[in-house]
Amino acid sequence: MSFEDILRHHQRINALSRSLIGRSAFEEIHVMLPDPICPEPAFIRATSWLYCLYYEGGRVSILFLRRIGETNHVMDRDRTDQHLEAVRCLRTELHHNLGFADSDQQARTVAELWRRKSCGTAIPEKAEHWLECYNHLIEDAVEFLGGIETIVRQIESDGDNAKDKIEDWNRRLARSWPAASFDPLIEDSKRQLGREALNTVAFRNRYINRWRKQLEILDDGFDFEHEAILLIEKALLDENCIVIPVTGRDIIDMLHIAPGPIVGNLLKEASLFFESNRCNKDELLDHIRSSYEKQG
């Protein structure tokens, strides 16, 4: 088996999905492809490429399709979980400066055990070790993606009986929000609330799973940007406070003031008022205007 086998599965899954749901199952992966002539960098690149496929570009489709495969006994759940977790932990260990948090130590332990099983040592030092790790990773990925392709072909062969699956697959992809789509909204909210020093990516990573779950339950057709800003500003102010029906942008536009700490203070005041006086957006904006005028 070779990395070309992975690419062939990737290409066929995308081609089949375009014929079934009108779009690719996977987004484009921009990581450089591995060259097995140099085993250590090849292993690092293959790990990075697979991580981007499993957890970024193909996250939604893979989660959806593997669950079908496990339900239909086409894919073994334990083997699937082990492979995905190994890729996650290997990538984390390779690209992060791990500390001593429990999650960091767990990732390191999983990665070391995986390498020991693959090449006989947790810390490869020879080209032969890295090549064995590379080959093991490729074999597992080919098996996994082969199972995903089998599921897609089953959906195709089911014809009209697969209508519900196809609609569900499309809906999940339509409601998938890449992590990067939150970043400009976070940057804008940080600026408006005077929190420019906050690390955008670290902040986003801390909350994104929670945000996605909250957005997932909204009715179709909602305004993603508006709802995301409400969640972002809620987290910026106090992760335990309720979501108020106004944003920092609403305050800036209404009062014609510059972004900064004043906006953050007014949002805090609005949150306190809303918590004890449930009201609509216009009523809350009137209260904010009154508070601002008193401060002035």
Give the number of other Cβ atoms within 10 Å of residue 264's Cβ: 20
* Cα radius of gyration rounded to whole Å, the chain: 24
pLDDT at 37: 93
Q: Which pLDDT score is estimated for 241?
A: 52
Residue 242: predicted pLDDT? 63
**pLDDT tens, position by position, 261-295:** 899 889 988 888 887 777 888 999 999 999 888 87
pLDDT of residue 158: 93
Residues of the chain with pLDDT under 50: none
Q: Would you call 15 helix, strand, or coil by DSSP?
A: helix
Q: What is the pLDDT of residue 272?
A: 83
- Please check whether residue 43 is in contact with residue 137, taking contact to mean a CB–CB distance below 8 angstroms: yes
List, for residues 150-168, the tens digit of each pLDDT value: 999 999 999 999 999 999 9
Q: Which pair of structure tokens corresponds to residue 50?
A: 């697979």
